Amino acid sequence: MKKVVFGILAGIMVLLPSCLDIEDDNYSLGKFWIQFGTVNKQGSESYTVTLDDGSVIYPVYGNYFGSKLDEAERVLVNYTILSNKLKSDTLKEYYVKINSLKTILKKGILDLIPAIEDSIGNDPIVMHDVWVSKNQLLNLQIKYYGNYKVHFINLVKQPGNLTADKQPVQLELKHNENGDHRDYLMTGFVTFDLSAIQIPGIDSVRFKVESKDYSGKTNTFEGVYHY
């Protein structure tokens, strides 16, 4: 059986400048916001983006290339608000100009079985920042050294049934640098769908993510996944 492991390309760097307060209604073309979100396709060309804070943006101008995006794709979007579409206590929708949009690697959690151990790799990686967004996705800003090859990034757990009495669920961030040269420090983002660690009968699960950095130190992040 052919094994397929998705990778992240070394050399892509994403910079996050300071964002403006989205509650400011004095919109102008000189202002912009940068946020993570999920694509909702509205046809072959058009789409909306549900941002991690629950707001929805409707692109009507700019560089948005809807035909190149897939349903539920994870994105980092730089946009300028043109006007309110709908704004209430529970829902905020905006017409926007898309200044730039980058797709973000989004993956599920894999069972660490012998068949994939070689492709998963065991190279060091740095969890620079980790957070669970309101839509209950696990997001990581990662750093690693490389040059020109594709690196594989995965989140794994041991196979077997999960039970409520064995928490936190142990997860490990894995990195395969594919023999790349460690010439440049790379920065990127990756998002993981946590649904694989749901446990029947309860509505939340505690979990721990571990990784090893270039000094051999084990770094950890502990969080709660509500579903």
User: pLDDT-derived band of residue 22, with 50, 70 and 90 as boundaries?
Assistant: very low
- Backbone phi and psi for residue 46, each to the nearest 5 degrees, phi listed first: -90, 160
CATH of the domain at 49: 2.40.50.500
Q: Are residues 110 and 94 in the same domain?
A: no
Q: Is the same domain home to 196 and 116?
A: yes
pLDDT of residue 127 exceeding 50: yes
Of 103, 122, 148, the one marking the end of a domain is 103
Mean pLDDT of the chain: 89
Q: What share of the chain is helix, strand, coil (3-state, %, to 5)?
A: 5, 50, 45
Last residue in a domain, options 103, 123, 156:
103
Identify the burial level of 120 via C-beta atoms within 10 angstroms of its C-beta, where 0-12 means exposed, 13-18 middle and 19 or more buried: buried
Residue 5, pLDDT above cutoff 90: no
Measured distance CA(11)–CA(149) in Å, rounded:
9
Same domain, 44 and 126: no
The reply to whether 92 and 196 lie within a common domain is no
Q: What confidence tens digit (pLDDT) does each residue in 131-169 have? A: 999 889 999 999 999 999 999 999 999 999 999 999 999
Given a contact cutoff of 8 angstroms between Cβ atoms, the answer to whether 169 and 205 are in contact is yes
**Average pLDDT for 93-120:** 96
Residue ending a domain, among 103, 135, 152, is: 103
Please give the residue range of the domain that contains residue 142: 105-226
Instruction: Indicate if 114 and 66 belong to the same structural domain.
Output: no
Half-sphere exposure of 100 (CA within 13 A, CB side): 8
Q: How many CB atoms lie within 10 A of CB 108?
A: 11
Decide if 62 contacts 98 (C-beta within 8 A): yes
Q: Indicate the pTM of the whole model.
A: 0.85
Identify whether residues 119 and 172 lie together within a single domain.
yes
Output the DSSP codes for 103-154.
E-EEE-EEE--GGGHHHH-----EEEEEEE-TT-EEEEEEEEEESSSEEEEE
- The CATH number given to whatever domain includes residue 125 is 2.60.40.2370
Are 125 and 216 in the same domain?
A: yes
* Residue among 221, 109, 219, 115 nearest 154 (CA): 109
Check residue 199 and report its DSSP letter.
-
Number of helical H runs and strand E runs in the chain: 1, 15
- Residue 144: closest CA among 115, 113, 175: 175
Q: 8 and 187 in contact (C-beta within 8 Å)?
A: no
CB 32 within 8 A of CB 79: yes
